[in-house]
Amino acid sequence: MEKKALLVISFGTSYAETREKTIGATEKHLQKAYPDHDFYRAFTSRMIINKLKKRDNIIVDLPAEVLKKLKAAGYTHVQCQTTHIINGHEYEITLKEIKAFENNFESLTLGRPLLTTVEDYEATVDIVMKQIPKLKKGEALVYMGHGTDHHANATYPCLDYMFKMKGYEDVYVGTVEGFPELENIIPLLQEKKYKKIYLAPFMLVAGDHAINDMASDEEDSWKTVLEDERFKVECILKGLGEYPDIQNMFLEHLKKAQPVTGM
């Protein structure tokens, strides 16, 4: 007898409000499409898992821990979907963890991160630009991506290029922990003589990076740095996971998920 499970895997966040609006909303969207699968959640950030357990007494497992429980409970078919944005460290670790269980189920699949194919980039740009106020003359939008030392950091310059290719000349993509950084973008903003800059996170959740590194009044936040450069700044604290069309992209990736054998 078949016993099916759906496992949605996210980096995680300790901010409860944005967690429900983004991760929770995406999970519900995927659950709705697979009503014959029992739902399970996993996070990949041990730091967030430990913080939630200690501070809020909320228990969230790592992917491998969930899969051990599913094996013990007699599940035969497990479909996994990551909500990671890029194919970086977190995704590679996740894939490695899941592959260790490839012989424990009749089928075990994993859907890819948001930005995997060229078509993903094109669709994502179209989706997010519907959510942003239409830019007027003298206005620009700067997205804050996470960034990484993994070679998948090339996602962010590629995404910036895709915005330009689709006609959004006043949209820029920077990162907190990769390239390009804000300091690489500021000269471009000054050259174009923008008066107002919108800031928005290019992350699943509007969590710590968005609230503190991007939008706070701390001296090194992107908002403060840009204001010090005489730009007017408006922050949009909305994670990608809040957009129904982004949730639907993850669903499409789930539907096209490949068996982890051979991945």
pTM recorded for the entire structure: 0.96
Strands of 107-111's sheet in order across: 38-43, 4-10, 77-82, 107-111, 258-259
Q: Which of 29, 37, 84, 146 is catalytic?
A: 146
Dist. CA 250–CA 82, nearest whole Å: 8
Question: What's the domain range around 178?
Answer: 118-239
Whether 204 and 138 map to the same domain: the answer is yes
Whether 84 and 141 map to the same domain: the answer is no
Reading phi first (left if > 0) and then psi (alpha if -120 to 50, else beta), residue 167 is in left
Buried b (16+ CB within 10 A) or exposed e, 198-224: bbbbbbbbbbbbbbebbbeeeeebbbe
Dist. CA 38–CA 5, nearest whole Å: 5
Whether 129 and 101 map to the same domain: the answer is no
Whether 127 and 196 map to the same domain: the answer is yes
What pLDDT does 141 receive? 98
Domain count, the chain: 2
Q: Kindly give, in sequence order, each residue whose CB lies less than 8 Å from that of residue 192, ignoring residues fewer than 6 positions away.
A: 140, 170
Q: Kindly give, in sequence order, each residue whose CB lies less than 8 Å from that of residue 136, ignoring residues fewer than 6 positions away.
A: none
Whether 52 and 128 map to the same domain: the answer is no
Q: For residue 146, indicate whether it is catalytic.
A: yes
Residue 55, number of CB atoms within 10 A of its CB: 9
For residue 254, give the CATH number of its domain: 3.40.50.1400
Is 84 known as a binding-site position? no
Is 177 known as a binding-site position? yes
Q: Kindly give, in sequence order, each residue whose CB lies less than 8 Å from that of residue 40, ignoring residues fewer than 6 positions away.
A: 5, 6, 7, 8, 66, 70
Residue of 198, 205, 200 whose CA lies nearest to 240:
205
Q: In this structure, is the dihedral angle defined by the CA atoms of residues 47, 48, 54 and 57, taken in order, positive or negative?
A: negative
145, 175 Cβ separation under 8 angstroms: yes
Strand partners, 173: 143
Is 77 known as a binding-site position? no
Q: Kindly give, in sequence order, each residue whose CB lies less than 8 Å from that of residue 75, ignoring residues fewer than 6 positions away.
A: 3, 4, 5, 38, 105
Q: At what angle do helices 244-255 and 25-33 cross, to 10 degrees?
A: 50
Whether 191 and 247 map to the same domain: the answer is no
Element containing residue 91 per DSSP (H, E): helix 89-99
Whether 19 and 94 map to the same domain: the answer is yes
Whether 123 and 212 map to the same domain: the answer is yes
Whether 122 and 235 map to the same domain: the answer is yes
Whether 108 and 54 map to the same domain: the answer is yes
SS3 171: strand
Whether 122 and 231 map to the same domain: the answer is yes
Whether 139 and 208 map to the same domain: the answer is yes
Dist. CA 239–CA 207, nearest whole Å: 8
Reading phi first (left if > 0) and then psi (alpha if -120 to 50, else beta), residue 12 is in left
Per-residue pLDDT of the chain (263 residues; tens, 9 = 90+): 899 999 999 999 999 989 999 999 999 999 999 999 999 999 999 999 999 999 999 999 999 999 999 999 999 999 999 999 999 999 999 999 999 999 999 999 999 999 999 999 999 999 999 998 899 999 999 999 999 999 999 999 999 999 999 999 999 999 999 999 999 999 999 999 999 999 999 999 999 999 999 999 999 999 999 999 999 999 999 999 999 999 999 999 999 999 998 78
